[in-house]
Amino acid sequence: MTATAAVLAAEVLTPEDLARSADRERVHDARTGRRRWRLAWLLTGPGVLAMLGENDGPSMISYAADGARFGLKFFLPFIIVLFAMSFVCQEMCMRLGAVTHRGYGQLVLNRFGPVWGWFAAGDLAITNVITLVSEFVAIRVGLGFFGLNAWVAAGLGISMVVVSAGGGSYRRWERVVLGLALFNGLFVVAALLADHGGGGVVGTAHTQAADMHTVLLLVASTIGATVTPWMVFFQQSASVDKGMTSADIKHGRIDTGVGALLATVCGIGALVAGAAVAGHGDIDGLAGAGFPGALAASSGNAAGTVFALGMIEAGALAILTISASTAYAAGECVGVSHSFNASPQRALLFHGTNLASALLAAVIILIPGAPLLSISLNANVLATALAPVSLIFLLMLASDRRLMGDWANRRSTNVLGGLVIALVAIGGAAYGIDSFFRAI
């Protein structure tokens, strides 16, 4: 036995280590057995979930509203560019996790000090809870189409958090959530079912006469929401929890790229479905709670039903991924166990935070008279305002040769990353400042 192996053998292995080792055994078998498709399947997860999680309830309503008001000409290519920007950032998250085996929160805390570390985790927790409120609202919008109320929405969201996290296995959690994520494709189905007035999709490429200020604001807010802090925390921590290593980076890029592609297609689906509602009523942001009904009125019950189901899925998926990102951040910053591979007893803070953040948001939507629309709108503004902080630290960490060795960012990646950060910062600042001056 070599000296290193002796040291490793002496390490106290936790159940988390053993679970992760079993996952890695499967990856090793697939890799050495040259089972390429199985290897790709085993390494799929964090990227797809981060990207499809970003297609959350408010985002899909927003895409649909854009389609209804402005048509497809501008926003269709715009969505493609947005997810390309997301890919640049999320690839760095995956690479950081695979190389350092540490989550984003832990790295920021260690490398830049407790002030920044706790600030990052704290602002993530606050924006996540607020965002979770809008996800529960999205589920309520979807369920409302079927005559079900807020209590059912709250119960559904919470039960999904509990069921997915049970079992003490990251792999199980990931596969359950991936299964749910596939239903993001319902928006594509809704687009296919939508009635575009006999002209097909091309025939809906009209634009509403909109002032430049409105369009610029829409662009700014959408750019600002391209990469949100929870995505950064989530994908890096999930890559670590999954046990990814530098040998998996190629597949991690594929996972992230496929996630971006799927999210783009599903986002375009919502945009196209929304275009069918043009002229059938005023749809405005999350106030478009009647959107599934409007789609049913314009295109038939099937289209409305599918879109409503898509809203439920979008909200539920985001609840699972956003709650998980909060839990990862809490565990990493406090320095305790933070893994789905750990049982609730061994990772009390992690599992407790995962559940508590969703529970808090669920309670808020049940409060009579709670300003849910205002909360939802400002959640988006806050997330976009705070995103540049997460992205700047992400770029600094991914460029750090001492941390990343040969896997540090190349100059081209830094240039692209810097450009994305600049656009997100400008978009977020413009959106935040405009929201402020509209309110005063």
Partner 1 sequence: MITNPTTPDSQLIGRLEQAQLVAQASLPVPRAELSDAVRIGLWGLRLFTMLLAAMVVCAFVLQLRAG
For binding to partner 1 (CB under 8 A), which residues are involved?
Answer: 2, 4-5, 7-9, 11-14, 16-18, 20-22, 24-25, 27-28, 99-102, 106-107, 109-113, 116, 119, 123, 240, 243, 245-246, 335, 337, 371, 374-375, 378, 381-382, 385-386, 388-389, 392, 396, 400, 402-407, 428-429, 432-433, 435-436, 438-440
The helices-and-strands tally (H runs, E runs) of the chain is 20, 0
Tell me, what DSSP letter sits at residue 43? T
Task: Give the nearest distance from C-beta 38 to partner 1 in angstroms.
Answer: 15
Dihedral of alpha carbons 141, 144, 150, 152, sign: negative
* 338 touches 353 (CB < 8 A): no
CB of 422 to partner 1, least distance (A): 13
d(CA 415, CA 358): 37
Shortest approach of partner 1 to residue 37 CB, angstroms?
20
Q: For partner 1, which is the closer residue by CB, 55 or 435?
A: 435
Minimum distance from residue 47 beta carbon to partner 1 (Å): 19
**Least distance to partner 1, CB of residue 25, Å:** 5
Nearer to partner 1, 78 or 407 (CB): 407
> CA 364, 438, 56: angle at the middle one, nearest 5?
40
Q: Which is nearer to partner 1, 20 or 69 (CB)?
A: 20
CA distance 269 to 261: 12
Which C-beta is closer to partner 1: that of 167 or that of 400? 400
C-alpha span between 68 and 280 (Å, rounded)? 9
Residue 68 and residue 287: Cα distance in Å, rounded? 14
Residues 325 and 54: beta-carbon distance below 8 Å: no
CB 66 within 8 A of CB 75: yes
Q: How far is the CB of 88 from partner 1 (least distance, A)?
A: 20
Q: Which of these, 232, 229, 222, lies nearest to 89 by C-alpha position?
A: 232
